[in-house]
Amino acid sequence: MDLKLLKNFLQIARIGNMTKASQMLYISQSALSKQMKELEEEFGCTLFIRQKEGMALTEEGYILRKRAEDIVALFDKTKQDFEDLEKITGGDIHVGAAETCHIDLFARELLKFRKEYPNLRCHIISGMTEQVTQMLDRGLLDIAIISGQPNIEKYHHIRYPADDLWGAVVAKDHPLSQVQRITINDLKDYNLMMSTQGLSEEIRKWCGQYADLLNVSDTVNLAYNGSVFVKEKVAVLLSYKGLADTSDENNLCFIPLYPTLTTPLNVIWRKYQVFTPIVDLFFKRLIASFEKVNQDK
């Protein structure tokens, strides 16, 4: 399989038009069309449906697009890693990160390291644990910062030196804004919005046998988007402290859950993971710094 064919396939898939794709790739439309026929013959299926308005992917085409994006991204990362092997002065680190207000701890370590090695480039991919671990497993990330406990059979890990605190985000004119802490009974009369990960793990453990009392009407994976729904009176958002804007101007407030519920953060990396020299150096310093903070607690 020719990597160039896959890249050209992805260009057509993104644009949805053979003519425009050929212009952007600086090849003739007939040559590009021939390449796609070769790709279809190689996989033994039809990848595109030709329509008046352009090119639409078939079901097989969607599968190939997902695989091709991973293949191309992994190739590009591997190529960059080999280029970085010969130079400790610069390079790239790819980090998957849960949404947390404590990401500033990582940012400070990066800033300290850059004073000596200013050419380390950091690429952050944000997402829930399942999303970032899938990318880590496929070799698209070097490390990941996840919420909750790691799978110790698959990953090495170190405890991140902070925990996330759960609470409810409500408008300041909401009835719940008058209480100091939120109990299960406080929530049972309202529509709730939260992440699918939190619903399946932390919140269910917090509720125990009373989980069925909660009406989780909506799910969201970004707290900012969830806060907009709170402002529009759609639901009460259950989230970590510090993710939603609760400044006076935004007219929202955060109230912690009771009993107190916290979620640990962990830095994980694949077993037998091999880092480029500059990533290895940065990661060793990160681990040493986090271990010291954890010991001093």
**Contacts of 69 by beta carbon, 8 Å cutoff, 6+ apart:** 10
pTM beyond 0.75, yes or no: no
Query: Average pLDDT over the chain, rounded to whole?
Result: 89
Please tell me the predicted confidence (pLDDT) of residue 86. 57
Average pLDDT rounded to a whole number, residues 200-228: 88
Higher pLDDT, 286 or 25: 286
Identify the band that residue 61 occupies on the pLDDT scale cut at 50, 70 and 90.
Answer: confident
193, 218 Cβ separation under 8 angstroms: yes
- Please answer whether residues 218 and 199 qualify as being in contact, where contact means their C-beta atoms are separated by less than 8 angstroms: no
The two three-digit tokens of residue 149, written as one number? 């406990």
Of the pLDDT bands very low, low, confident and very high (cuts 50, 70, 90), residue 231 is very high
List residues bridging with 192 in a β-sheet: 216, 236
Helices and strands (DSSP H and E) totals, the chain? 11, 11
Residue by residue, DSSP assigns 206-274 as HHGGGGGG-EEEEE-S-HHHHHHHHHTTS-EEEEETTSS--SGGGTEEEEEBSS--EEEEEEEEETT--
Q: Which pLDDT band holds residue 26 (cuts at 50, 70, 90)?
A: confident
Q: What is the rounded CA–CA span in Å between residue 127 and residue 145?
A: 10
What structural domains does the chain harbor? 3-71 (1.10.10.10), 90-158+269-296 (3.40.190.10), 163-263 (3.40.190.290)
Name which residue leads in pLDDT, 67 or 266.
Answer: 266
Residue 47 burial (10 A CB sphere; 0-12, 13-18, 19+) = buried
How much is the pLDDT for 243? 94
